Amino acid sequence: MKRLPVLAVALLLAGACQAPQEENMKMLTPVSFSSVTINDAFWTPRLLIHKNVTLPVCIDQIENQTGRIRNFENAAKGEGEHSGIFFDDSDVYKALEGMAYSLQIEPDPGLEAKCDEWVAKFAAAQQPDGYLNTFYTLTGLENRWHDMDRHEMYCAGHMTEAAVAYYQATGRRRLLEVSERMANHMMSVFGPGKRHWVPGHEEIELALVKLYEVTGEKKYLDFAGWLLDERGHGYGSYGDDRVWPAVYYQDEVPVRELSRITGHAVRSMYLYCGMADVAAYTGDRELMAALDRLWDHVVNRNMYITGGIGQSSRNEGITEDYDLPNLTAYCETCASVGMVFWNWRMNQFTGDAKYIDVMERSLYNGALAGISLRGDRFFYVNPLESLGGHHRQEWFGCACCPSQICRFIPSVGNYAYATSEKALWVNLYMGSDVTVNLAGKEMKVHQTTAYPWDGSVALELGLQKPVKGEIRLRIPGWCKDYTVAVNGSAVSAPVEKGYVVLRSKWKDKDKIELVMTMPVEVVAADPRVKEDEGKRAVQRGPIVYCIEEVDNPEGFDNLALSEGMDFKLEKLPKRQWWGHEIMQISARTGEGEMTLIPYFAWDNREAGKMKVWIPFND
């Protein structure tokens, strides 16, 4: 077994119509998933299951099992009780966003009719002044805009994201108009010369930028920037005598002075996304400098090997540097999805593959673990060890994670490709077809691969006329050896910020082949992570592995990795894994054998113990 150097805790992994731009700082323009047709052994089954299983589950929960949609109906009538938690509106909006994304992939008249039905309920529940929040409508509008932690702007943000998604899917503006009225209402109450406000749960900031992108109304971008600037000045309040814990709410210092992630993990992710989005259009380099500092602190001191963040259930978030317990790890699914959102944005500013490395880690491990292989059960919390009592559930009282996964899975194509003036950037490897503009000419790209189980990738280009430009292929941080060939001939090309740069005058039918070696790796955590002292984890390519008791019933607690261990790869029959391809690893020594499966696939069979970090015998 090849020993790797001790790695840092994070392994030290070094649209809509465009709005008028102030000073767009982005180097790259992402290619929308609506332009990417996925035909991939790994992702296609997940997209089908999302449409056929996950969406119906979410719709049933919202309409029949909980009172979430009924809250809108009652609010429209102005009578009846509010059921559930004060922020439950957001789950309905996120589910609608997932429905809209599914429609962008594949039209479905029945699903579209369901969306229209929900949108009509939202519109009917809106107050004459534009305010829309079923909790306060049904419990007392006189109490609105009183407690900054009551998620009014959070719900408005998710409604706005859903509105943009549905407008992009159908061209219908009704929900977009509802969202604009809500935004205009908020701006009539808050802003320069008006009331101060610190949203207890960030989300509205990034949503306002999406609204700006679609409408071209700069006032929404300005309001997003104003909300960011409200933080760190002592304005945060519950509206009574209770002490506002500023650290928990990312409100302890102004955003441009941030250097450490603190408090609630999901809220931090949404804040950083909002900062990045505002900086993209305002050219605010102080915001970007703060994001650079924050990224280093998150990734190199507070991120799990799965790409998850948030160590503690006490605050659903951060404790202290290098405190990364496994059994009690929180690693909320929403936080892992947030890591995907944030790192995707950071890559667009810099063209640096290190951000995609982290994004990919969070995607394939921390986020994907949040949904069962059947698509009908969910994790809220994602520990890296279980004594057998942690299981997926049908739904949650606080259901932010199921609805988050509902909107995330169908948009996965968003993260595969990007373009710059003269280059196509390939960030994720998945079987797909996409048409992009390269140096002013239309180019079709057909990608085939068995990634993440295999490191071979092939691209075939389709061009009516030759075009001079670059194709940049990400070489993942886990890849130590690779080869590149163009039209069957090996080439040597420079690597810039983690991308191999192929410069050529491309013509129709050109073929590019990338072959990355993908050995099984045994890795160690940063020695400052005391929880993982004397332990190792196993990964192959982007996939982190774990051991489950169901595969290792004999002496599970005594299993250990050791020097000289041989690893054997085995692709399991799809019928055993609900149509998914799963690659398991058998580890053998003279003393015994253990079986490892991908972390994202655990707790899909019989209940039992699990661990990612395994004792290691030198």
Q: Residue 17 pLDDT more than 50?
A: no
Decide if 400 is catalytic: yes
User: 23: pLDDT confidence band, cut at 50, 70 and 90?
Assistant: low
Dist. CA 296–CA 292, nearest whole Å: 6
Residue with tokens 């719900």: 155
User: How far is CA 28 from each of CA 346, 477, 488, rounded to the nearest angstrom?
Assistant: 10, 20, 29
Hey, which residues does 312 pair with through a beta bridge? 317
From the candidates 155, 400, 406, 479, give the one annotated as an active-site residue: 400
Token representation of residue 592: 């015994």
Reduce the DSSP state of residue 383 to 3 states and report it. coil
Residue 184 confidence (pLDDT) above 60: yes
Asked if 177 is an active-site residue, the reply is no
pLDDT (0 to 100) of residue 419 = 97
DSSP one-letter string for 106-154: S--HHHHHHHHHHHHHHHHH--TTS---HHHHHH-GGGTTS-TTS-HHH
Over 80: is that where the pLDDT of 2 sits? no
Least confident of 16-20, 532-536, 555-559: 16-20
- Residue type, position 616, single letter: F
Q: Is the pLDDT of residue 1 over 90?
A: no
State the DSSP H helix or E strand holding residue 342, giving kind and residue range, or none if neither.
helix 333-350
311-348 b/e (C-beta count within 10 Å ≥ 16 → b): bbeebbbbbebbebbbeebbbbbbbbbbbbbbbbbbbb
Mean of pLDDT values over 157-184: 97
Contact between 352 and 498 under an 8 Å Cβ cutoff? The reply is yes
Q: Which domains does the chain have, with CATH numbers?
A: 39-410 (1.50.10), 419-451+455-516 (2.60.40.1180), 520-617 (no CATH)
Which of 316, 360, 385, 548 does the annotation list as catalytic? Answer: 316
Question: Which residues touch 573 (CB under 8 Å, ≥6 apart)?
Answer: none
Residue 582 in this model has a pLDDT that exceeds 60: yes
- Averaged pLDDT score across all residues of the chain: 94
* Confidence at 618, pLDDT banded by 50, 70, 90: confident
pLDDT category at 590 given cuts 50, 70, 90 is: low
Residues 344, 357: Cα–Cα separation, whole Å: 10
pLDDT bin (cut points 50, 70, 90) of residue 591 is low
- Contacts for 510 with CB less than 8 Å, ≥ 6 apart: 460, 461, 463, 486, 487, 504
